[in-house]
């Protein structure tokens, strides 16, 4: 834009003598340039002596500018521009030859006023360009802000969509888990219901069995009461005594079996201890005899070795003095030292063996004392049990002596059996029963026979009463007679 101003200044200096109306086409062109630039077209810098070509709007055709001679004045042109700016903006000239012609005409006719007008128009054009650029920058900033806001909104939407998806997944998982738990709870409740049903069935069956058992117990208790009522007390006492005797015999058998087992165990332990003592004594004796033999054996071997050495030295040495000196100085000392070492070692082993033997003997003695004490205690317990058994036997003998009541019962049984036979009943007692069993069953048979006799007597009395009721007239006649 500065280059345009310098060009305009040069052209004004060359055409100072020209008239004022010649500057109208330049002003019109400047206004056209302003209109074209405000629409967003770029302006290229022109060469010296030329005005920058103004590009037309898209799709519009270029129009040549008016001639310098026939152009109207500048104020009229500006007024016309103010009246119809759209028609003036469409009349743009992009032809360089026409622009060159216009500049030449302005140089010829321009002046100071034209220069001022051109400067003013250039300033207005620059200001319009700056405002448009500022607006464009603002629009670019707004577009960037809007794009940033849109990007942020899109990112927020994507995050919200992700969160919503996660929420849906978590809710689905929670729903599946809840359904699984509900199914499990339903299964458990069903199992519990079936178990309760089964338990109730078992309880009902148990109650039914208990009721039947109660009825049986009541029936059996009635039978028992009846039997205890008809059974004599002597027979019950005999049965109790027999049961006590059986229990006492079982106790005695158990005690005797336990004592026999303990005695056998103690005898086996004593035999084992005796065997161990015998083995250890034999081993000690063998070791002693081995020690004595071993001490005698090395002596004989050493003596034989010494004799052999003597013979060898006697052969080698010629003089008896050398032989005696060698024998006394070397071999006899070695022989005595070997014998004393062996004897000391055997004595130490013998002392250790004697100590071990004494320890084992003391230990075995202590064990024998403990076993003897246990045996004495068991024998004392056995004596006590035997004394109790003797006491029970004496009591049983005294009870047998006091059985006079049983003899009287036997006599009564004989009389009752005679009456029973006289009434026409048969005796069910077998002749093969032993006397002891007969005595036990005597009381029961006596009661049974008495019941049968009483029943027969009641039947006879009832028949007699019936007969007397049928013939009252005969009885009255008999009484009157």
Instruction: Please check whether residue 49 is in contact with residue 103, taking contact to mean a CB–CB distance below 8 angstroms.
Output: yes
pLDDT at 307: 65
Q: Which of 149-163, 241-255, 378-392 has the highest mean pLDDT?
A: 149-163
Confidence band (pLDDT; 50, 70, 90) for 405? low
pLDDT at 151: 93
Q: What is the pLDDT of residues 233-260, one digit of tens each?
A: 888 888 888 888 888 888 888 877 877 8
- Please work out, in degrees rounded to the nearest 5, the angle formed at the alpha carbon of residue 44 by the alpha carbons of 42 and 49: 145
> From CA 159, how far away is CA 166, in angstroms rounded?
10
pTM to 2 decimal places? 0.23
pLDDT at 470: 59
Which secondary structure element, helix H or strand E, spans residue 385, and what is its range? helix 332-401
pLDDT at 87: 43
Q: What is the DSSP string of 233-262?
A: HHHHHHHHHHHHHHHHHHHHHHHHHHHHHH
Which secondary structure element, helix H or strand E, spans residue 375, and what is its range? helix 332-401
Confidence band (pLDDT; 50, 70, 90) for 373? confident
Instruction: Please check whether residue 226 is in contact with residue 444, taking contact to mean a CB–CB distance below 8 angstroms.
Output: no
Residues near 118 by beta carbon (within 8 Å), at least 6 away in sequence: 8, 12, 23, 26, 27, 30
Residue (of 83, 57, 65, 77) closest to 121 by Cα position: 77
- Please work out, in degrees rounded to the nearest 5, the angle formed at the alpha carbon of residue 328 by the alpha carbons of 325 and 334: 135
Q: What is the pLDDT of residues 24-76, one digit of tens each?
A: 344 444 434 444 444 444 444 444 344 344 333 333 333 433 333 344 444 44
- Please work out, in degrees rounded to the nearest 5, the angle formed at the alpha carbon of residue 210 by the alpha carbons of 206 and 213: 140
pLDDT at 107 over 80: no
Instruction: Please check whether residue 40 is in contact with residue 131, taking contact to mean a CB–CB distance below 8 angstroms.
Output: no
Instruction: Please check whether residue 110 is in contact with residue 12, taking contact to mean a CB–CB distance below 8 angstroms.
Output: yes
pLDDT at 128 over 90: yes
- Two tokens, residue 207: 């109650």
> From CA 50, how far away is CA 390, in angstroms rounded?
165
Residues near 8 by beta carbon (within 8 Å), at least 6 away in sequence: 51, 115, 118, 119, 122
- Domain coordinates in residue numbering, the chain: 2-149, 236-401, 407-463
Mean pLDDT of the chain: 68
> From CA 433, how far away is CA 161, in angstroms rounded?
109
- Residue 131, number of CB atoms within 10 A of its CB: 11
pLDDT at 348: 76
Residues near 327 by beta carbon (within 8 Å), at least 6 away in sequence: 306, 309, 310, 313
Q: What is the pLDDT of residues 421-433, one digit of tens each?
A: 777 776 655 444 4
% of the chain residues with pLDDT over 70:
53
pLDDT at 173 over 80: yes
Confidence band (pLDDT; 50, 70, 90) for 23? very low
Q: Name the DSSP letter for residue 330.
A: I
pLDDT at 39: 40
Which secondary structure element, helix H or strand E, spans residue 292, and what is its range? helix 233-316
Confidence band (pLDDT; 50, 70, 90) for 474? very low
- Two tokens, residue 51: 């005005």
pLDDT at 36: 40
């Amino acid at each position: 834009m500065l280059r345009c101003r310098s060009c305009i200044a040069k052209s004004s200096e060359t055409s100072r003598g020209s008239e004022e109306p010649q500057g109208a086409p330049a002003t019109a062109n400047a206004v056209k340039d302003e209109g074209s630039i405000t629409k967003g077209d770029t302006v290229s810098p022109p060469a010296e002596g030329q005005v920058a070509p103004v590009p037309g709007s898209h799709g519009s055709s270029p129009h040549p500018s008016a001639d310098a001679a026939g152009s109207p004045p500048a104020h009229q042109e500006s007024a016309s521009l103010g009246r119809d700016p759209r028609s003036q903006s469409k009349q743009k000239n992009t032809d360089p030859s026409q622009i060159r012609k216009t500049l030449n005409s302005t140089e010829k006719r321009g002046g100071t006023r034209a220069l001022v007008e051109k400067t003013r128009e250039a300033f207005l054009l620059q200001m319009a360009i700056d405002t448009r650029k500022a607006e464009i920058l603002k629009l670019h900033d707004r577009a960037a802000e809007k794009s940033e806001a849109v990007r942020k909104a899109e990112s927020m939407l994507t995050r919200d969509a992700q969160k919503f998806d996660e929420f849906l997944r978590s809710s689905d998982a929670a729903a599946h888990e809840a359904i699984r738990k509900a199914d499990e709870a339903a299964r458990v409740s069903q199992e519990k219901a079936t178990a309760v049903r089964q338990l109730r069935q078992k309880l009902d069956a148990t109650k039914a069995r208990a009721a039947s058992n109660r009825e049986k117990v009541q029936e059996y208790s009635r039978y028992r009461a009846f039997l205890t009522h008809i059974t004599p007390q002597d027979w019950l006492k005999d049965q109790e005594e027999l049961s006590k005797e059986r229990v006492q015999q079982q106790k005695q058998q158990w005690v005797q079996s336990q004592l026999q087992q303990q005695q056998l165990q103690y005898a086996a332990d004593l035999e084992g201890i005796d065997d161990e003592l015998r083995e250890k004594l034999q081993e000690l004796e063998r070791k002693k005899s081995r020690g004595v033999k071993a001490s005698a054996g090395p002596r004989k071997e050493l003596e034989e070795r010494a004799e052999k050495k003597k013979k060898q030295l006697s052969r080698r040495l010629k003089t008896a003095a050398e032989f005696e000196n060698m024998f006394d100085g070397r071999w006899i000392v070695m022989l005595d030292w070997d014998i004393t070492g062996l004897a000391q070692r055997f004595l130490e082993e013998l002392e250790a063996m004697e100590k071990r033997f004494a320890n084992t003997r003391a230990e075995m003695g202590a064990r024998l004392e403990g076993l003897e004490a246990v045996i004495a205690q068991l024998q004392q317990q056995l004596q006590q049990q035997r004394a109790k058994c003797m006491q029970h036997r004496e009591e049983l003998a005294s009870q047998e002596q006091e059985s006079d009541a049983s003899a009287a019962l036997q006599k009564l049984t004989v009389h009752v059996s005679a009456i029973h036979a006289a009434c026409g009943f048969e005796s069910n007692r077998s002749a093969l029963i032993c006397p002891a069993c007969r005595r036990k069953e005597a009381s029961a048979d006596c009661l049974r026979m008495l019941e049968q006799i009483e029943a027969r007597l009641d039947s006879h009395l009832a028949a007699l009463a019936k007969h007397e009721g049928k013939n009252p007239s005969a009885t009255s006649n008999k009484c009157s007679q």
